């Protein structure tokens, strides 16, 4: 099942639990606006090339729309729609005043020079500058984009609207980026894990962890879990997987990754088939990479007792049902990986106030938001007698539905 079908299914289930009016349900599902633009740029050799840029703005009932911009050759409109919708529910779950958006350009960033990427980003910004805004839609980095991409968007947007640091988040620190933003999603995953384990009378030091994906989120989660005394027995990235039943030396692994750009050939553990990683013996499994990695084919073999969804949509609905029947506790993506958008919100607040926070304040506020959201999800699970995923979805959808009704959606 693709990401859009799975997200719609979860939304409809939540709408049924909440007893939403069918017209309101339909209204919440349809995106507020879908933008598609042509971006033509001169390449370094003088030839012209065109790319398709787009932005899906899902919902603005609770505040400006918020979501990443990705540069990827296979940008799937359905997936972007699903991710924009997920951002709406995710922002509502952690109770930050945003709706959801997502967008990007269908290109392969590795095949473009830095100057070509800059020209492409600036043309894209010129095409959408009057449809985004500090109080309208605030982009952020995503797959294939980074702080430098945000710097170009900020500069180009500011040419039309005056200096506007709050137009994007995930910017370089020197341009108004927030301290702690780089680690935010991984740190949020760890705070979410702590909240879940505490609920079951457990803590990080007594658990064995397996982490799939060792990019920004996976590497930060590994570093922080290791610092808190957790034992990480296996990790993987695109190049391979490594395991050590006695616990991997995470600082050495991070250094190896920094020096070699990959986990491959790390001598502090044994190489294993990356496909076997998800079914390794462990207490906590943290998928931090692609969607749909847990499916009906491997769900029965998963040995973890807890799954923390650091990636977007890593568990197919079929796998969800199998794992729930087996008593595996799944902490859903719309809560578990919300640390990134939460600290993006803190960055936006700092930019609007023109007053920057210390890193400790950023991290303490993030912990407060993640803990409070977990308590709210648990309360929803108890009142509706549902799983954590449905608890999170019903919490998010109910908040957006309430805001929509209060604003007078039929007016």
CATH number of the domain encompassing residue 305? 3.40.50.720
Q: Is residue 45 part of a domain?
A: yes
Q: Is 185 annotated as a binding residue?
A: yes
Asked if residue 146 belongs to a known ligand binding site, the reply is no
Residue 102 is a catalytic residue: yes
What share of residues in the chain are helix, strand, coil (percent, to 5)?
50, 15, 35
The reply, when asked if residue 337 is annotated as ligand binding, is: no
Among the listed residues 212, 223, 139, 214, the one whose alpha carbon sits nearest the alpha carbon of residue 187? 223
Rounded to whole angstroms, how far apart are CA atoms 373 and 393? 12
Can you tell me which residue has the tokens 């995470």? Answer: 250
Q: 169 and 182 share a domain? A: no
* Pair 131, 232 in one domain: no
Q: How many CB atoms lie within 10 A of CB 42?
A: 12
- For residue 380, the enclosing domain spans 178-410
Rounded-to-integer distance, Cα 111 and Cα 384, Å: 50
Only one residue has tokens 């595996």, namely 328
Q: Is 303 annotated as a binding residue?
A: no
Q: pTM higher than 0.85 for the full model?
A: yes
Of 174, 205, 232, the one marking the end of a domain is 174
Quick check: 411 pLDDT over 50? no
Same domain, 116 and 206: no
pLDDT digits (tens, 9 = 90+) for 51-104: 999 999 999 999 999 999 999 888 778 888 888 999 999 999 999 999 999 999
311 lies in the same domain as 188: yes
> Is 171 annotated as a binding-site member?
no
Measured N-to-C along each axis, helices 184-199 and 339-353 cross at an angle, to the nearest 10 degrees, of 130
Bridge partners, residue 28, by sequence = none
257 with 405, same domain: the answer is yes
Catalytic residue among 23, 102, 159, 264: 102
* Model confidence pLDDT, tens digit, residues 176-217: 999 999 999 999 999 999 999 999 999 999 999 999 999 889
Count of domains forming the chain: 2
The string of pLDDT tens digits covering residues 133-175 is 999 999 999 888 999 999 999 999 999 999 999 999 999 999 9
Clarify whether residues 203 and 245 are in a common domain: yes
């Amino acid at each position: 099942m693709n990401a859009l079908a799975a997200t719609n299914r979860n939304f409809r289930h939540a709408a049924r639990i909440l007893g939403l009016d069918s017209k309101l349900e339909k209204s919440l599902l349809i995106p507020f606006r879908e933008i598609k633009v042509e971006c033509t740029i001169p390449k370094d050799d003088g030839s012209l090339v065109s790319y398709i840029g787009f932005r899906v703005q899902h919902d603005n009932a609770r505040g400006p729309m918020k979501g990443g911009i990705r540069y990827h050759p296979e940008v799937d409109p359905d997936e972007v729609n699903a991710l924009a919708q997920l951002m709406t529910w995710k922002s509502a779950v952690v109770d930050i005043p945003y709706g959801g958006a997502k967008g990007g350009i269908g290109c392969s960033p590795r095949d473009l020079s830095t100057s070509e990427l800059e020209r492409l980003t600036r043309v894209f910004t010129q095409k959408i500058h009057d449809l985004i805004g500090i109080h309208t839609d605030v982009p952020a980095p995503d797959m294939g984009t980074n702080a430098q991409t945000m710097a170009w968007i900020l500069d180009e947007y500011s040419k039309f609207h005056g200096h506007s640091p709050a137009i994007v988040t995930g910017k370089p620190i020197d341009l108004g980026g927030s301290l702690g933003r780089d680690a935010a999603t991984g740190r949020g995953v760890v705070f979410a894990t702590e909240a879940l384990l505490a609920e079951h009378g457990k803590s990080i030091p007594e658990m064995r962890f397996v982490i799939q994906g060792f990019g920004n989120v996976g590497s930060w989660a590994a570093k922080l879990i290791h610092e808190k005394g957790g034992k990480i027995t296996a990790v993987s990235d695109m190049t391979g997987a490594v395991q050590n039943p006695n616990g991997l030396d995470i600082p050495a692994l991070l250094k190896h990754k920094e020096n070699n750009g990959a986990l491959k050939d790390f001598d502090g553990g044994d190489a294993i088939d990356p496909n076997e990683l998800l079914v390794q013996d462990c207490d906590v499994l943290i998928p931090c990479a692609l969607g749909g990695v847990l499916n009906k084919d491997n769900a029965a073999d998963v040995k973890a007792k807890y799954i923390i969804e650091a990636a977007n949509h890593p568990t197919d609905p079929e796998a969800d049902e199998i794992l729930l029947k087996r008593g595996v506790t799944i902490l859903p993506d719309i809560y578990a990986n919300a640390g990134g958008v939460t600290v993006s919100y803190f960055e936006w607040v700092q930019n609007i106030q023109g007053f920057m926070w210390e890193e400790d304040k950023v991290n303490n506020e993030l912990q407060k938001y993640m803990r409070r959201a977990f308590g709210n999800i648990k309360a929803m699970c108890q009142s509706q007698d549902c799983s954590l995923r449905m608890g999170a979805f019903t919490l998010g959808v109910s908040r957006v539905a309430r805001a929509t009704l209060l604003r007078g959606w039929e007016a």
